Amino acid sequence: MIKTILTPIDGSPAAFSAFQYSLKLAEILEAAVDVLFVVDQRKTQVPFMYAGGAYDITYERIYIPPDQELREFYDRIKADLNKFAARCNQRCQELADEAGVSISTKVIEGYPAEAIQNHALGSDLLVLGRDGENAGTKQETIGSTTEELVRKSPRPVIVCPEEFSVPKKVLFPYDGSRSAENCLQFYTAHLSSKIPKLLFLCAECGDETEPYRNEIDYLNQHSAEVELIQQEDEPINAINSIVKQERPDLIMLGSHGRNKLVDYLLGSTTIHVIRKSNLPVLIVY
């Protein structure tokens, strides 16, 4: 049973959309929401300054304390960010009160991905905005807080786009991998009785007469209303095609396919879907 949903916020539109999604899930699952604002300490700490010649044989590095004006400048940044965090948390509290959902709010200072990952250990589900406060900057293959958490989170993750949508129909691309099986069990344990409409996508299996029949029977036994969709195309193209045709509200994926090492190094279907999809994406490990 999902009792606690952790939602990190940073003031961005996608983060507030993720919070709205958390509220809706909390209503459906009768869960509570923990809201976490991490003040990035890289923005609040005074930079270190050293003296010493790079070509000095001894290469002695002497720390030079910053002058008072510089220290005061960073103190103001820290104070402003904490005030902004408090306002964001207050807005979340107001929205939660309107929805009748129990929430807790917290502001801490640290490295966002690391702090969120540690707090996720005390939750059952992590709900993130896909794009954070630096949405206008270039995203590397591994670099953004969201992508780092998707790769390292100790709990299942839902990544939300900026546009909010209520979950009513789930698209589940299934490939028989261990993480896909974990995803199937997560759905039957927590979601199938609440969001029963499931599009079971079998990509690259167009010629098979009854692919994954045991898995589909298992889903049907757990209140799921399963529609099997077979595609001969590769998973990424099949997912894009079904999203356009069937208009699901949520995509549910295992974190890695059958070749976990190659997926991690080269960029998995999961990462591609997260980056490109306009729908929330649930990742189970």
User: Which pLDDT score, from 0 to 100, does residue 143 have?
Assistant: 42
Domains in the chain: how many in total? 3
Are 143 and 201 in a shared domain?
no
* Cα 173 to Cα 161, 224, 226, 261, 278, distances in angstroms: 19, 15, 12, 20, 16
Residues 232 and 190 in one domain: yes
Q: Phi and psi dihedrals of 56, rounded to 5? A: -70, 135
Nearest to 224 by CA among 169, 164, 146, 165: 169
Say how far apart CA 126 and CA 154 lie, in whole Å: 9
Q: How far is CA 194 from the centre of its chain?
A: 21
- The secondary structure of 171-185 as a DSSP string is EEE--S-HHHHHHHH
- Same domain? 221 vs 92: no
User: How high is the pLDDT of residue 261?
Assistant: 46
* Dist. CA 79–CA 58, nearest whole Å: 40
Domain that holds residue 55: 44-71
Residue 237 sits in a domain whose CATH number is 3.40.50.620
CB within 8 Å of 41: residues ≥ 6 apart = 109, 110, 111
pLDDT of residue 58: 56
Residue 130 and residue 146 in contact, taking contact as beta carbons nearer than 8 Å: yes
Low-confidence ranges of the chain (pLDDT < 70): 48-65, 132-143, 206-208, 257-268
Q: Does residue 171 sit in the same domain as residue 193?
A: yes
pTM: 0.86
Would you put residue 52 in left (φ > 0), alpha (ψ -120 to 50) or beta? left
Domain edge (last residue) among 108, 129, 158: 158
Same domain for 17 and 131? yes
Look-up of token digits 């005030």 = 83
Residue count (the chain) = 285
Distance, first Cα to last Cα, the chain? 17
Gap between the Cα atoms of 269 and 227, Å rounded: 22
Q: Mutual orientation of helices 235-246 and 269-276 as an angle, nearest 10°?
A: 40
- Residue 150 token pair: 């998707």
Q: In this structure, are 133 and 33 located in the same domain? A: yes
Which of the listed residues 126, 158, 190 is the one where a domain comes to its end? 158
pLDDT of the residue at 63: 62
One domain, residues 188 and 276? yes
26 — phi, psi (to 5°)?
A: -60, -40
Residues 111 and 139 reside in one and the same domain:
yes
How many angstroms separate the CA atoms of 15 and 162, rounded? 8
Q: Are residues 172 and 116 in the same domain?
A: no
